[in-house]
Amino acid sequence: MSWQELQIIVGGAKVPRVEALLRLTGAVAISLAGESEQELLEPPPGETPLWSSVALTALFPQGISLDAVATILRSDLPGTAITSRDVSDPDWEGTWARRPGTQHVGTRLLLTAADADTEDNARALVRLNLGLAFGTGEHPTTRLCLEWLDAELQPGARMLDYGCGSGILAIAALQLGATYAWAVDVDRQALTATRENARLNEIDDTLWIGKPENLSAVEADLVMANILADTLKSLTEVFYRAMKPGGRLVLSGILESQSEEVRRHCGHRFGPFMEKHSDGWILLSAPRREGPP
């Protein structure tokens, strides 16, 4: 079967809007690549490519006028270079096969692509703009967090997702019964991805999204962070102050070889620690200690 391919290069902040326009005009698949030309799926923590420009390549069936699609895109982004060509199935099979699909997590959670035709009323559903790629649920560190939420999250909890990326953890917590969540990240592109995924899941007044410096005092039942070990250690006091008495800390993004170091650094504020392992990564969870450190 013959297809049509359209490519447009835009600034990173414009990716969510352009991706939405491509889907509205009939794109059946979209892949993203940055300056290094690697596909934008979920990298290991700390290695997320925050590119200044992103190439979006969209697949359209024959019959859709790419000239008309290009006109719509140029009216929104004047002067943007847009190219197109005809392609065959084999050209797209490799890319499309790597696209994350529907994922069942634990006994309660279901992750799907934004456009997936999914019906499973028995599970909490989280839809993701997978092209935004700061968290798709496939990487072991994200998967460990999702499995923890599926098994351990208490109904009515208030959760702080520190280093939210795509917002997958905060959104999953809300879909699993949390009453409120704060999604925090230092990167603007991550916050944009979180906002888009929140809209996709029809989440509005139960999710705060912003940078750490704009976060007012909070009292969370759960603080979850899936970032690098050194950063986790530097944020120990931040996590402690953001948590109410009796709250719990969940840390991921930690290599097994870093576990003891993180425990020692955080142990005066949190403990005792429990752990879960996956492919050389470890998740640590612990209650907040009360009284003087």
Contacts of 141 (CB under 8 A, 6+ apart): 44, 45, 226, 252, 253, 254, 278, 281, 283
Alpha helices, DSSP H only, in the chain? 15-24, 66-76, 89-97, 140-152, 168-175, 188-200, 229-234, 236-241, 259-266
Per-residue pLDDT of the chain (293 residues; tens, 9 = 90+): 567 889 998 887 777 778 778 877 877 777 777 644 444 434 444 444 456 778 888 888 777 888 888 888 888 888 888 999 887 655 555 444 445 568 889 999 999 877 777 776 789 999 887 544 446 667 788 899 999 999 999 999 999 999 998 899 999 999 999 999 999 998 776 788 888 889 989 998 999 999 999 999 999 999 999 988 889 999 999 999 999 999 999 999 898 999 999 999 999 999 999 999 998 899 999 999 987 66
CA proximity to 42, closest of 125, 133, 120, 106: 133
At 68 the pLDDT is 87
Q: Do domains 2-97 and 103-287 have the same CATH topology?
A: no
As a whole number of angstroms, the distance between CA 130 and CA 144 comes to 19
At 26 the pLDDT is 78
Specify whether domain 103-287 bears CATH 3.20.20.70: no
Domain boundaries defined on the chain: 2-97, 103-287
At 25 the pLDDT is 80
**What kind of architecture, by CATH, is found in domain 2-97?**
2-Layer Sandwich (3.30)
